[in-house]
A and B are shown apart, each in its own frame.
Chain A
Amino acid sequence: MKVVVPVKQVAALDDEFELPSDGADVDPADLEWELNEWDAFSLQAALDLRDGAGGDGEVVAITVGDEDADEAVLNALARGADRAIRIWDDGLRDADALAVARVLAAAVDREQPDLVLCGVQSSDAVNSATGVALAGFLGLAHVAVAKGIVHDGGRLTVERELEGGLVEQLAVALPALLTIQTGINEPGYATLRQIKQARDKPLAVTSLADLGLDVEAVAAAAGSRRRGLAMPAQGQQAEILDGSPADVAARILEIVGEQVR
């Protein structure tokens, strides 16, 4: 089985960041980068399906990002992906979920995989949209928020997680795209040796032109434009409990006592 796994290097804001007064974007120095949490699970699901099918398949990790995003695909290679593709153009810096999905669609179309596994969402943008939008561009069958997969011939039985702990079991024929929820498996860690070996695996750096795209075509597919950033409105200002840990503990027991009396 050939599985393509789109992954993302996500940005986490430091504990102490400042939003510039123009609200355009945060200072890159206030960001820490890491592989999106959901993508560790989608990648592991792909590796399990490849290995379960006798190991003669292939797992291809794809990312849209600048050279700093090499870390995401190298991470995927170290964990066991067979090869990786990184797509970049400076015009993609503000790309939204649909624009990224449009770029991924061109790359996935060339690969013609049996299955595409995406994370349900990324921890920074939290659109929960890129995977299903990618299926929309490709015309692929899709199932969102999978928390269990069983492969049986040309078909998958999938557990789809709904609100409130309800689970739907359904079947989908390949080729298909699934978005993968955390907790579906236990993602493995890469050993130091695997991290070294990852650098010897194929990593293709690809431009939009290589994929028959240009910045204008991607911009036309975008769904929205970000005008600015702001601090969240404070619904209610939390009363800060300060003092020593003992003071805070005493106050918390008091609050519980008052409310439950």
Chain B
Amino acid sequence: MMGGTLVVAETRQGAVRDISFELIGAAGQIKQQVGGPLVVAIIDPDPAAHAAALACDGVDEVLAVTSPTAGFEAHIAQRALEALIASERPRLVLAAHSIDALGFAPATAAAAGLGFATDVIEVSWEDGGPVVRRGAYGGKLVAECDFPAKQCTLLLLRPATFAPAGPGAGDAPVRDVDVALDDAAQTTHLGYQEPQADGVDIATADVLLSIGRGVEDQDDVERFGSLAERMGATLSASRPLVDAGWLPAARQVGQSGQTVKPRVYLALGISGAVQHLAGMRTAETIVAVNTDPEAPIFGVAHYGAVMDLFELADELERALG
């Protein structure tokens, strides 16, 4: 293969992750402009088990790399991707902006001298090369980037941003690619620790009252807990409050916490870091209250108020009697 697009599929604990289909969908959108084939690589202990599912609409070939470890290992993935880029010589490589891919893709880009961008939200093709958009200044602005003089560019795409590819006929040919990986691993997997439920399930709540950094004192957390209760809402929080130990991890909304889809998400004093938005942007109605009118949370909110959360809490309490 010369040129074309290589998609790096992602699996975890034996299942293909949704982002894999979003990567194939994004690759399909620009396949004609990139030229060449659309090839999906899977690096997994049992790649054959997932090959048919990955043979989506527009996929010309699935490359199966057998990993010697039961789960993801960053250095194995890194060596496998470097070998695939060297043998297949793709023009464009798409992988996930996920914790696994962020654990090896930047090293691959550094070692192989690739064009590289992470957390990409738009990809287009101009004058024979990729042009991308990604956040800048903490997501308050969008930067447009290109990759002059790069033979191959590796892009990590933000999850839940690109439309997934349709299932397709599943008959794209599967080719086994032999990469020497037996001595590649540099970490030893010891186990997984599943998240603790702590008796609260914010993922199924109808109304979430979610608090963030605007709550500056641990003593105020209890107040918002009782306010939530009186509103018929469940209390949740953004990462900083959980990091500080003010609330248990089970109440955390975001990439590393829970993905929630309540009818109403009331965000008080949450600025809206990308990782937080990833966990709540699909809420049916989002109401954001923040003192910073430029806070990224307002970009996804249906209703917004530029206001101090304590002033609002005073009035909510008064109105509830």
In the complex, the answer to whether B243 meets A183 with C-beta atoms within 8 Å is yes
In the complex with contacts A129-B118, A144-B99, A245-B307, A224-B110 CB distance below 8 A: no
A137 to B302, CA, bound (A): 44
* CB of A242 closer than 8 Å to a CB of B: yes
Residues of A within 8 A of B288 (CB): 238
In the complex, the answer to whether B144 meets A132 with C-beta atoms within 8 Å is no
Residues of B within 8 A of A213 (CB): none
* CB of A193 closer than 8 Å to a CB of B: no
Which of B56-64, B86-94, B249-257 forms part of the interface with chain A? Answer: B249-257
* CB of A93 closer than 8 Å to a CB of B: no
Choose one: B111, B274, B303, B318; the contact of A249 (CB below 8 Å).
B318
* CB of A126 closer than 8 Å to a CB of B: yes
* CB of A239 closer than 8 Å to a CB of B: yes
Which of B172-180, B189-197, B218-226 forms part of the interface with chain A? Answer: B189-197
Q: Which of A229, A238, A241 has the most CB of B within 10 A?
A: A238
In the complex, the answer to whether A253 meets B319 with C-beta atoms within 8 Å is yes
In the complex, the answer to whether B145 meets A172 with C-beta atoms within 8 Å is no
In the complex, the answer to whether B137 meets A26 with C-beta atoms within 8 Å is yes
CB distance from B10 to the nearest CB of A (A): 11
CB distance from B57 to the nearest CB of A (A): 26
Choose one: B117, B193, B312; the contact of A245 (CB below 8 Å).
B312
* CB of A13 closer than 8 Å to a CB of B: yes
In the complex, the answer to whether A224 meets B145 with C-beta atoms within 8 Å is yes
A256 to B259, CA, bound (A): 20
Q: Which of A2-17 contact B (CB under 8 A)?
A: 11-13, 15-17
A248 to B78, CA, bound (A): 52
CB distance from B108 to the nearest CB of A (A): 7
In the complex, the answer to whether B99 meets A161 with C-beta atoms within 8 Å is yes
In the complex, the answer to whether A11 meets B137 with C-beta atoms within 8 Å is yes
In the complex, the answer to whether A235 meets B315 with C-beta atoms within 8 Å is no
In the complex, the answer to whether B303 meets A238 with C-beta atoms within 8 Å is yes
Residues of B within 8 A of A176 (CB): 186
CB distance from A7 to the nearest CB of B (A): 17
In the complex, the answer to whether B312 meets A249 with C-beta atoms within 8 Å is yes
* CB of A192 closer than 8 Å to a CB of B: no
- Residue of A with least CB distance to B263: A259
Which of B26-34, B42-50, B163-171, B232-240 forms part of the interface with chain A? Answer: B232-240
- Residue of B with least CB distance to A177: B107
* CB of B301 closer than 8 Å to a CB of A: yes
* Chain A interface residue count, Cβ-Cβ cutoff 8 angstroms: 87
In the complex, the answer to whether A167 meets B186 with C-beta atoms within 8 Å is no
In the complex, the answer to whether A225 meets B147 with C-beta atoms within 8 Å is yes
* CB of B15 closer than 8 Å to a CB of A: no
In the complex, the answer to whether A166 meets B102 with C-beta atoms within 8 Å is no
In the complex, the answer to whether B141 meets A231 with C-beta atoms within 8 Å is yes
In the complex with contacts A133-B106, A159-B193, A126-B139 CB distance below 8 A: yes
Choose one: A15, A101, A163; the contact of B110 (CB below 8 Å).
A101
Q: Which of A165-183 contact B (CB under 8 A)?
A: 165-173, 176, 181-183
In the complex, the answer to whether B304 meets A240 with C-beta atoms within 8 Å is yes
Q: Which of B275-321 contact A (CB under 8 A)?
A: 284-285, 287-289, 291-294, 296, 298-307, 311-312, 314-316, 318-320
Residues of B within 8 A of A141 (CB): 75, 186-187
Q: Which of B119-163 contact A (CB under 8 A)?
A: 119, 131-133, 135-148, 150
In the complex, the answer to whether B146 meets A167 with C-beta atoms within 8 Å is no
Binding site for B on A (CB under 8 A): 11-13, 15-17, 19, 26, 97-98, 101-102, 123-137, 139, 141-145, 157-173, 176, 181-183, 220-221, 223-236, 238-242, 245-246, 248-253, 255-256, 259-260
The 3 A-B residue pairs with the shortest CB-CB distance, nearest first, are: A136-B107, A165-B195, A223-B116
Would you mind naming 22 contact pairs between A and B with Cβ atoms under 8 Å apart? A26-B137, A97-B116, A133-B116, A159-B193, A160-B103, A162-B256, A165-B249, A165-B250, A167-B192, A168-B192, A169-B192, A170-B188, A170-B189, A183-B243, A224-B145, A225-B145, A226-B144, A228-B143, A248-B289, A249-B315, A249-B318, A259-B285
